[in-house]
Structure 1
Amino acid sequence: MKEGTFHANAGAAAADAFYSGLTRTLDTRADSRLYHMRAFNGWVKATQIAELDPDISSAANNGKKRSRRAPLRVLDLACGKGGDLGKWTLHQRGVENYVGVDVARGSLIDAAIRARTMSKRKTCKLRKCTFTLADLGEDVPGRKRSKNANKMQKLLTWTMQNETNEEKEVDPKFVALEGGGIAETDKFDVISIQFAIHYMMQTRKRARRFFHTVSSLLEIGGNLIATTIDARVVIEKLMALGLDLHFDEMDQHEEVDKSSNEEIHHNGNKRRKVNDENEVTVKVGNGVCRLKFDPAVVRKVFEPSNSIEEMFGLQYTFTLVEGSDHAAGVGEAVDLPEWLTPIPALQELAEEAGLKLEYASNFHSFYQERKDPAKFPAAHNALYNMKVLNRNGSVSEQEWNVSRMYVAIKFRKVGESSIHIGDEDVGEDEI
């Protein structure tokens, strides 16, 4: 589990290396310069989860229709260290089955230990819990990867309910299981992917694989929820930089600082061309949040196109500065590759997968819609219980500005996926 290469995709491998080495805990998190922003992000997730009430009553369960109020079957993608386990177990409907999936091996070991600890509490209702190592842009837990595959893929898996007393006394053991601990007949009421769906947007092929997998695992009437960087805000901030992004060949190869690069428009204003060697950086919150783009990607963002293919591969590197100690989870993050997640691209993919978009709400709008204590008492009280607000009863301007960079998204499954997945990626163990 701790040695070797586990992911074919470079982005997934980089995320595995970074997050497996991150040691953020509840103790070290308090040292973060963005403590209240992180608490606010957690509040958005907790509120999203608490509001979920998927109607899958038409679905059959061993020949019987499931109750409208049956406990939730949860698939938590990019589950990390299992930090949202408590949020799920607090849901008013309870949890019947929880499966967490992540690319980071170190995080999954910590998640399994967290689940063990929780299960020992008398008040804990977590009885069935599984963690699986997978990259959802490549791997397919619980389903065959194509119609011509004879077997499901084997994935490294840990299951709480299968542990012996002796195994509970040592490090969690992950073993290769067909389907990653998910049976081919298993379905979920809710699938969540928090702050990670952007890793699926590297290519359209990768994103289609993800949405098809999600649809095949999600029950009709069930929900897919996500949080990610809000591409609409990023584009707004790129426009505010006042860059001159011309699309003729001459503009793309001139040097920025030469006087010849300044020309007169028909309205008399001067312009300055962008050199392809100069990276374009969006800075938010006095620079604690930075998104760095290659100029060619920025041109791609703004160049008119009717092709959905142009909405994928919009790569940037993401840095969030929380402090000076990366090992404690409060340092300057490594420049991890991420990809913009345009809402129109998500919506088109989702419709092809049988999912309907219910909302795409920027974190500021999400808060404004739920801040009234009379209409949303639980969400309002959670602002204080989760320590979202500082001693002044607010969030600092710096943290508030950074929080606007994110969006909360919710889909409902209304039909089956019409996406076709080819056979070229089927492995030998699936034949």
Structure 2
Amino acid sequence: MKRGYQQSSPSGSHGPPQSKPRYNPEGDEQFLEDESTKIFAQKVADHYSARTNQTLEEREASPIIHLKKLNNWIKSVLIQLYAKQGDAVLDLACGKGGDLIKWDKAKISYYVGIDISDGSIEDCRTRYNGDADHHQRRKKFSFPARLLCGDCFEVRLDRALIDDAPFDVCSCQFALHYSWSTEARARRALANISALLRPGGVFIGTMPDSNVIIKKLREAEGLAFGNSVYRVRFGEEFAEKKFKYSSPFGIQYSFHLEDAVDCPEWIVPFPVFKLLAEECDLELVFVKNFHLFVDEYLKKPEFVELMRRLGALGDNQDQSTLSPDEWEVAYLYLTFVLRKRGKPDQPRTNNRRDRGKMQLSKGKMQLSKEDIVFIRNDV
């Protein structure tokens, strides 16, 4: 499989930083899934639903705590770069709501979160309400919200969110690769995003870097590679370590990350991802491996201070820092930004007051269990 973008890791990245085929199915029937795909999707949902919320002490004791903090820094930088005050945000695969504070700091006006896991959505609800015991006491969030439970890579979301769209920003963090098990799911994911973004709106995300994963597989003696905190294993069907550009979907591997992930994942060949995105009127703004992203944005003072506060590289109280093994895991991921083609109907700054009133009528500032909407394909 050919590399889709020419990027190499920056100099010094051996260790942590110091402090064109066309795929064109027609009609909605092409988005139907088989039962095996749904089983895998449910397995991923069950994995994340079963993960319990951690206390601050438990979180700090994690063997990958600095990697988690680095991931939070990367997401925070993306949000600061592309979310503007008053934006309406769609958070796909929102999980337990770990990015809610980041969106609050961006002063957004409206938030819709969707996740396949009912357990995660319930945790997101309690986090939004400030009811969870493990959370630090904090003021209420400044934006109204809606939460939905459903598979955003299967369900047609423009029908479920007809009264909420368009959105200014769509975010999907560490989850889009779960849509790549079949062409139908990959297409549905991108079709949903395009349908719900306003012209000029942005799609920001993070996902595994297929170039790096395949490169490491080919360098490994067998079909597995990793270190003390992660392990990737491919099945025997990939014994030749060759991948056809004409068959870019359903390339499955197992991924284990200490204190985080242990479930099947799928390769996302970036040239095909970019092609499908373009067919959905989503143009690539940039794609960067995590190592390159860190190298570039740590040169900006405001993001250096953010890194210090988050503590990924240590801070004044904690001199510990990202380990070499954690830094190797970071190399497995990339960031990307896409923009919806077209010119906005009106400037984003217009009618913020009226828009805020409308969004408050759709979302709520306090969410009950009954407020969670469960969506299916027949919505």
Task: List alignment gaps of at least 5 residues for structure 2.
Answer: 1-35, 132-136, 344-375
1:87-124 CA distances to partner (integer Å, 9 max, x unpaired)? 01101xx2111000101111111110111128xx8854
The answer for the alignment partner of 2:86 in structure 1 is 71
The answer for the alignment partner of 1:17 in structure 2 is 46
Deviation at 1:125, TM superposition (A): 4.8
Equivalent residue runs for 1:102-121 within 5 Å: 102-117=115-130
Higher-Rg member (1/2): 1
Q: Counterparts of 2:151 and 2:121 in 1: how far apart (Å)?
A: 13
* Number of corresponding residues: 306
CA RMSD in angstroms, aligned pairs only: 2.6
1:284-336 CA distances to partner (integer Å, 9 max, x unpaired)? xx24211111132354x624x452xx1111101110124xxxxxx6xxx54x1
Paired residue type of 2:257: L
Equivalent residue runs for 1:154-303 within 5 Å: 179=160, 182-184=161-163, 186-242=165-221, 280-283=223-226, 286-297=227-238, 299=240, 302-303=242-243
Q: Counterparts of 1:395 and 1:70 in 2: how far apart (Å)?
A: 32
Equivalent residue runs for 1:116-127 within 5 Å: 116-117=129-130, 124-127=140-143
SS for the counterpart of 1:79 is: coil
Q: Counterparts of 1:290 and 1:428 in 2: how far apart (Å)?
A: 35
Q: Counterparts of 1:122 and 1:238 in 2: how far apart (Å)?
A: 45
1:353 aligns with 2:290: no
Deviation at 1:363, TM superposition (A): 0.7
Change (3 A) 1:123 1:29: closer
Q: Counterparts of 1:389 and 1:428 in 2: how far apart (Å)?
A: 44
Change (3 A) 1:428 1:392: closer
Paired residue type of 1:357: L
The answer for the alignment partner of 1:33 in structure 2 is 63
Q: TM-score, normalised by structure 1?
A: 0.66
Deviation at 1:340, TM superposition (A): 0.8
Q: Counterparts of 2:65 and 2:85 in 1: how far apart (Å)?
A: 36
8 Å contact from structure 2 (residues 93, 152) kept in 1: no
Change (3 A) 1:185 1:388: closer
- Taking only the aligned residue pairs, the percentage that are identical comes to 34
SS for the counterpart of 2:157 is: coil
Q: Counterparts of 2:52 and 2:245 in 1: how far apart (Å)?
A: 44
Deviation at 1:428, TM superposition (A): 9.0
SS for the counterpart of 1:317 is: strand
Q: Counterparts of 2:378 and 2:332 in 1: how far apart (Å)?
A: 42
Q: Counterparts of 2:212 and 2:239 in 1: how far apart (Å)?
A: 14
Q: Counterparts of 2:214 and 2:254 in 1: how far apart (Å)?
A: 15
Q: Counterparts of 2:138 and 2:221 in 1: how far apart (Å)?
A: 58
Which one has a larger percent strand, Structure 1 or Structure 2? 1
Q: Counterparts of 1:298 and 1:84 in 2: how far apart (Å)?
A: 39
8 Å contact from structure 2 (residues 228, 325) kept in 1: no
Deviation at 1:359, TM superposition (A): 1.3
Q: Counterparts of 1:193 and 1:116 in 2: how far apart (Å)?
A: 22
SS for the counterpart of 1:46 is: helix
Deviation at 1:213, TM superposition (A): 1.0
8 Å contact from structure 1 (residues 89, 124) kept in 2: no
8 Å contact from structure 1 (residues 355, 415) kept in 2: no
Deviation at 1:392, TM superposition (A): 4.0
Change (3 A) 1:70 1:366: closer
8 Å contact from structure 1 (residues 11, 199) kept in 2: no
1:218-267 CA distances to partner (integer Å, 9 max, x unpaired)? 11111111111111111111121256xxxxxxxxxxxxxxxxxxxxxxxx
8 Å contact from structure 1 (residues 76, 192) kept in 2: yes
1:84 aligns with 2:27: no
Change (3 A) 1:362 1:306: closer
Q: Counterparts of 2:224 and 2:156 in 1: how far apart (Å)?
A: 35
Q: Counterparts of 1:404 and 1:127 in 2: how far apart (Å)?
A: 34
8 Å contact from structure 1 (residues 189, 219) kept in 2: yes
Change (3 A) 1:429 1:198: closer
SS for the counterpart of 1:232 is: helix
Q: Counterparts of 1:9 and 1:234 in 2: how far apart (Å)?
A: 25
Paired residue type of 1:207: A
Q: Counterparts of 1:413 and 1:362 in 2: how far apart (Å)?
A: 22
8 Å contact from structure 2 (residues 129, 140) kept in 1: no
The answer for the alignment partner of 1:385 in structure 2 is 309
8 Å contact from structure 2 (residues 37, 181) kept in 1: no
